[in-house]
Structure 1
């Protein structure tokens, strides 16, 4: 991984990460510790950067980026926000983001399609894909409008099962669908944004709606907990958290751990 450098290496980075990514289960730590610096050197569009972090199982780094792209026309960032929540196990939020993406791709304000509130014309135009496709983002990535929501449901059902109830074919099938999803998002983003160096990533940022700002402020405490590093006494090892849960022993961290006063 240390030899990758520059926008032309994006394919090599994503290919390497896709081989080992396993987002059927909640990721406990990044696949590679140095990917953050590697992807920063590529200077690609932040949507592609966020996806690379997700494939590397570095959800906090991905979350930082997608929170700057969570309103139309940044439907790609919104979709990644849903995928990120699915990986974390926050399935209601995953469904909510996918629903917002569908609304926007159909030309409506997220959560306001039933009222007939359309996006502004210039915003709706920017949602379209790049040269090579006339499909919406949802149809390009999933082929079927229901597949995005179904994938969330299937991952949730798989995780609910006991280890003895899970089959290898079921897990392999989910992994294949998640990898295909990621590959299609990469393809879409390369067509739309290109892979040349983007010196100022803030060009891709979008202003949040008032509703999103309110939700984000209410989730500050949860986001802080998600970033805490802890010491898991039962496993005698440092660990990450998912909300209030230790990712090593799956017990509430307040009950089983001592907080390490460093965030990552």
Structure 2
């Protein structure tokens, strides 16, 4: 999926999500007012159930699925799916609770407490999605492969973001055990998460190390956009060219 098409589908997914989060409640209110069902007790219940229990969740999950699949297709086009695909999936899973919370209460995004509680995995995901919107395939070098140190920095910080998402996701133990029907897995995750949090925060209990790694990730993404010298051809390639002549 090329940059223009990727941008279009991402905007479509974000638009559907914002429609479900911001507009469906007003549509529900308008429907009740126009139908006059509020005059009879219980008459509005089918309409409320249809919009809030069927239509709204369908829009939200459609938007999230669209964003996820579009990102994977973009990575496949850029030949980055094997490493970045699992990382992006981990970021999406770790961001799911806050996305569902914002879909239920979009006004919470304006509250300082909600902004402070945004998972670091979501910030990694937003930065990476914004990077993928650029026309990376038009450059002479492969995306995210400008140099070995830069590529190592990007991958190391991305893995840190995925681990941080797993460590600071309270619902992970319940979701993991429920989906796989393994109660022991829930217990194992619940026991391992505090140790992983301590390791990722360097024992400080603060999110400052995570934000520092996020800043390094964004800086590495920006550095990968800078023009780099083309790699020098190897000696065997030079000899092969001479033999062809």
- Judge same fold: TM > 0.5, yes or no: no
- Please state which structure has a larger fraction of its residues in strand: 1
TM-score scaled by length of structure 2 = 0.28
TM-score scaled by length of structure 1 = 0.26
- Please state which structure has a larger fraction of its residues in helix: 2
